[in-house]
Structure formats: C-alpha cells, structure tokens
C-alpha cells in the first residue's frame, strides 16, 4: 500500500490559491474551480499527499458552485472536523494524511445516494483520468470508477 503524507517539497510547489485553500483553510470563489464541470472518468486525489479522495462516479451537479460528491472513495482518507468559523457550525473535511483543507460536508445531498454533499475546493484536488490510474499507482480503485 502506498504511503501518503504531507510532502514539504510538494507544498513548496503549490500555486498561491492551492496553498491558501489547503494550508490556510481558504475557500475558492464559487464557480471558479478547475474541476467544477469535469465529467471525465477518474479519481480526485489530494494535491499535497496524493491520497485518493473521491471518484468521478460519485460526483454530481449540486448547483452550489463547487465540485460535489456523495461520498469519499476511501473514507479513511477523509477526516471530518467541527468548524465554527464565520459564525456558522459546519463539518470541515480534511485529507487524513496530507492534512489539507478540502471543503465541507452537508446533509443536503441526493437522498437516494446517502444524503450527503461533500462540497470540495478544486484547488485541493488533482484529477487522475481513468486511463492513467494504473500507471500512477491507483489501479486498486479502477473498479470504483465507471466509464463515462
């Protein structure tokens, strides 16, 4: 099994927006994320650690302005924390090994798919296309990604 961790060399190469989102718990502007409209088959991994987070099969259009997923591809890779910033009570999601801020999870997702909406910043993600998953070491997740 690959070892996923926060890599200081990778952190040093992040764009200013990726750094702000993942390391300082920022939020990209609604509707601006690189992966908001991505419909290609594959998985989304933590931009810092590479740990698998979400499958394209679980992505859906929620209308919120950020990529939305019904569940993590590997639940152990997504930590949920109480967030009381900005005068609200929410559930923040962070990558377990990279400790990257990903976004938040809300209980207003599709009922027939578990009822959750993982609202995720594109800046915290790197997309790995289905065709590249084996070569990049994510072959174990191929059965969880449907061809689109």
For 18-39, write each residue's pLDDT tens digit: 999 999 999 999 999 999 999 9
Q: From 68, 76, 72, 73, select the one nearest 138 (Cα to Cα).
A: 73
3/17: higher pLDDT: 17
Is 64 known to be catalytic?
Answer: no
Supply angle C-alpha 96, 22, 54, rounded to 5. Answer: 55
87-92 mean pLDDT? 82
Tens of pLDDT along 112-124? 999 999 999 999 9
What integer best gives the mean pLDDT of the chain?
93
Residue range 8-135 forms a domain whose CATH class is mainly beta
Contacts 24+ apart (CB under 8 A), 50-54: 50/2, 50/4, 50/98, 50/126, 51/4, 51/77, 51/95, 51/96, 51/97, 51/98, 52/77, 52/138, 52/141, 53/77, 53/78, 53/95, 53/102, 53/120, 53/125, 54/118, 54/120, 54/125
The catalytic position among 119, 123, 125, 128 is 119
């Amino acid at each position: 099994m690959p070892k996923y961790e926060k890599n200081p060399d990778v952190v040093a190469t992040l764009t200013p927006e990726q750094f702000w989102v993942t390391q300082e718990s920022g939020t990209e502007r609604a509707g601006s994320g690189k992966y908001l409209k991505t419909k290609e088959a594959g998985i989304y991994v933590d931009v810092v650690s590479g740990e698998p987070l979400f499958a394209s099969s679980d992505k859906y259009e929620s209308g919120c302005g950020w990529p939305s997923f019904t569940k993590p591809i590997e639940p152990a890779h997504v930590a949920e924390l109480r967030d009381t910033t900005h005068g609200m009570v929410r559930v923040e999601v962070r990558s377990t090994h990279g400790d990257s801020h990903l976004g938040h999870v809300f209980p207003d997702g599709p009922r027939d798919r578990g009822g959750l909406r993982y609202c995720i910043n594109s800046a915290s993600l790197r997309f790995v296309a289905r065709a590249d998953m084996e070569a990049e070491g994510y072959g174990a997740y191929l059965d969880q990604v449907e061809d689109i």
